[in-house]
Amino acid sequence: MSDMLGHREDVDRVLIDEKVIEKRLDTMAEEIDREFPAGPILAIVLLKGAFVFAADLLRRIPRPLEIECLNVASYHGGTESSGSVKFLDHVLPDVKGRHVLLLDDILDTGRTLKAVADRLMLDGCAAVHTGVLLAKDKVRAEDVQADYVGFEIGDEFVVGYGLDYQGLYRNLPFVGVLKP
Ligand code: XMP
């Protein structure tokens, strides 16, 4: 059974369990729906890490919504930020005049959100509203905050609920810390 849950035995501790995530997503979705300007939302999901979070959050928002995904790479399979953000798609979504809800899994150094938000603004979007499941409590390389944060966590490497270590553990239903 543990194998079916994505190598549960490699996990040292569960930081945020499934039920707690679900409850928080209910309130985040309400906040977003209440605060977002009227009209359809254009959600942009950063792959791969944010796909689980985005799927669960966006299904809770009761209004017309378009979903685009962007492939960006900032970590390259390890636990340290590479310091550079690469756009991997040849064509980026058309964001001209749109209010975008930009979703990422985790706010760490801030480089990813900053780089993508800057690019979307350059491409003519009306405003970028950012949402992350997790924000690490640390001094960031970039002065950036998310408008919607699921949970503040300490400055440690986490996996699960979309987040990986060397490509694994994304399918864990909770956020946890691996054994050393
Ligand atoms: P930055 O540093 O740009 O980081 O804010 C955002 C991206 O870095 C990855 N990241 C992590 N991935 N566990 C992960 O699995 C972590 O603890 C972690 N911290 C940062 C992630 O891809 C995120 O989009």
Query: Residue range 22-35: average pLDDT?
Result: 98
Structural domain range at position 146: 4-178
Question: Which ligand 1 atom is nearest residue 81's CA?
Answer: 2
CA dist 135 and 131 (Å) reads 10
CATH number at residue 116: 3.40.50.2020
CA dist 144 and 173 (Å) reads 28
Query: Is a pLDDT exceeding 80 seen at residue 77?
Result: no
* Closest Cα to atom 14 of ligand 1: 163
DSSP states along 44-85? EEEETTTHHHHHHHHTT--S-EEEEEEEEESS-SSSS--S--
Is 107 a pocket residue for ligand 1 (Cβ < 6 Å)? yes
Is 74 a pocket residue for ligand 1 (Cβ < 6 Å)? yes
Structure tokens at 3: 């194998």
pLDDT of residue 141: 86
CA dist 25 and 180 (Å) reads 30
Is 15 a pocket residue for ligand 1 (Cβ < 6 Å)? no
Q: Domain total for the chain?
A: 1
Query: Residue range 132-154: average pLDDT?
Result: 94
Mutate to test the pocket of ligand 1, among 80, 81, 165 (most ligand atoms within 8 A of CB): 81
CA dist 133 and 10 (Å) reads 22
